[in-house]
Chains A and B, each alone.
Chain A
Amino acid sequence: MSWLETYVRPKIKALVGSPPDIPENLWLKCDNCGQMIFHRDLEANHHVCQHCNHHMRLPIATRLALLFDEGAYETIELPKTPVDPLKFRDVKRYSDRLKESQSKLAAMAAGSGAVGDHRDAIRVAHGKMDGRNAVIAAFDFSFMGGSMGIAVGEGLVAAARLAVLQKAPLIVIPATGGARMQEGILSLMQMPRSIIAVQEVKDAGLPYIVLLTNPTTGGVSASFAMLGDIHIAEPGAVIGFAGRRVIEQTVKENLPEGFQTAEYLLEHGMVDIVAPRSQLKETLVRVISLLTPGAPDAVADLARVEAELEQAGSADLEIPALAAGDDAGAAGGKP
């Protein structure tokens, strides 16, 4: 269960939403160690428990603000994709699940004053990191468990093309249970599609970095997420292909201590770096600057990039157009 659900008082909306609504006396309970944390301390500590170092889930806007200079970034509008192509229905209609998730996101966005494209489980943003252009595609776990369907795949394609266009590194931040079952085989096809997307970045000679956050499993871990030039993981993040329960049922034995955690993957050679949240940005910036020694420290010429994007956008519909909105500093998380 997420830490939000073990909340002391039912003020969930207030916390994920806008800071002004948060009462002064708000305390939260860490879902790992059970200790109480004052909300301002939690925010100041980037949602890491000060008692046990548990890395809680970071709201996506806070995550982006943490990584971009001055917390400033722009999100791009993602291409429209088919909705519910299978007309899928389990105990609920998939189209209804989608609508619920979308209105949940819209409510959160309204609360934080953020605008932009919130239609599915991925957000694509660009801005500066230590003065250089960077593109970040971040999964939103609160949207159907961050599952990857057509829209997410399309978001990754758009992010990759934006990176190529800006000659910027691409950072992808998965937080996902894997493929979105409700899109059936079309969700499985996002595995090759997302791999093609990151190949475009690699072909252009640009760094492709994966920041693995909790959780990164299933069809996402078995596609673009394990093909980064560099793999950085957050402490304690669960990363793996098969789910714990499935493995337990198959092998009928207890799983090793720390199985499928970031630290376990580091030990087994699957990630390069386990970086605490407080050091994420400096780690990313260091790696990127070392991989692109020839690149000039980006001139802050956003207008030029926007013009290029617009031009490209009219010529090729697959290139995302810039959204008017700016989520900068949403949810109050300034680095």
Chain B
Amino acid sequence: MRNFLDFEQPIADLEGKIEELRHLADTGEVNIADEVSKLQGKVDRLVTQTYAKLTPWQKVQVARHADRPHFSDYVDRLITDYQPLAGDRNFADDHAVLGGLGRFRGQACVVLGHEKGGDTQARIKHNFGMARPEGYRKAQRLMSLAARFNLPVITLVDTPGAYPGVGAEERGQSEAIARSIEGCLQSPTPLVSTVIGEGGSGGAIALAAGDAILMLEHSVYSVISPEGCASILWRSAEQAQTAAEALRLTAQDLQKLGVIDRIVTEPVGGAHRNPEAAIASVGDAIDTALDELTALEPAALKSRRREKFLSMGRDALT
């Protein structure tokens, strides 16, 4: 059973009809096959049309789709010899940030990212991808490991934001995020970040201050959630759709603003309709990005990365 988003209702209706027809076919009616393929054609066209012109708010919904591939799905398909590593060596192992050693297309690397979890139980285990300081400190640890052994770093970003909790504050959420950004910026090896779903604020940039920043076509990346923004600036969470538009949080907007380097095309109907294809496209894009960076010496890489961020916003459209 597929999870449909509210704006996908017409698609859901048509697919429901197809299901009904298939059921009829079992009872021996004729000409059903023709009707089904006609309807299927209609569904395909509708999906294509709908996804060709998603509004920013619809993209937020797609980016948060429960069936969208998550960190572990990417690791399963893109990383061989994966050896997960755990803990921040200080307090705990945060399941909202996963990572470890592995091979990406034959090359040993460090891979890390936010894991939101695929079902209710997993979502609770991974705290919906909202990391505590330990998660960012684990990320720092893995980045240091990569630096020490000259391994490239692949990060996958998918988080509503850092976890707002008492313990998280007590243990230095701010400092942990700041150090994690610093860790990215200091990396002597290539660091390629891909926003695969939701790029939520400080919790996202903590893993995304890289040499190349990629975004899946329908992912979003923002300084604040549209709901949070709406409740502060409009004083009403109802205005989230309006806020989503105002924030310019789509991959397409971010590319125009010069914040990301490349958009990775999603399969028709979004990554959740064809996770394998989406993951393969992300893999190809990471491969291309790493290729362009491997020739650079640590010092050149670092200064290029600094320049990249320093130039951001300077020539933003006025």
Contacts and interface: CB of A to CB of B under 8 A. Distances in A.
A191 B178 CA distance: 8
The residue in A83, A181, A256, A270 that gathers the most chain B C-beta atoms within 10 A of its C-beta is A181
B205 A186 contact: no
Contacts of A154: 314
Interface stretch (B39-47, B57-65, B221-229, B277-285): B221-229
A196 B228 CA distance: 28
B6 interface: no
B257 to A, nearest CB: 6
Interface stretch (B104-112, B166-174, B266-274): B166-174
A284 interface: no
A260 interface: yes
A157 B165 CA distance: 32
Contacts, number: 183
B13 to A, nearest CB: 35
Nearest to A85: B316
Interface residues of B, number: 55
A185 B177 contact: no
A184 B173 contact: no
Contact of A179 (B168, B169, B224, B315): B224
B223 A240 contact: no
A85 B233 CA distance: 18
Interface string A190-206: 11110110010000000
A270 B205 contact: no
A193 B307 CA distance: 9
Category for how many chain A residues contact B: 35 or more
B215 to A, nearest CB: 11
B202 A222 contact: yes
Given A186-B316, A193-B312, 13 more contacts: A82-B316, A184-B247, A184-B248, A189-B205, A219-B223, A222-B173, A224-B178, A226-B178, A239-B174, A240-B173, A241-B168, A242-B169, A250-B165
Interface of B: 162-166, 168-175, 177-179, 181-182, 184-186, 201-202, 204-206, 209, 221-224, 228-229, 232-234, 243, 246-249, 253-254, 257, 259, 306, 309-310, 312-318
Interface of A: 81-86, 88-91, 150, 153-154, 157, 179, 181-193, 195-196, 199, 218-219, 221-227, 239-243, 246-247, 250-251, 253, 255-256, 259-260, 268-270
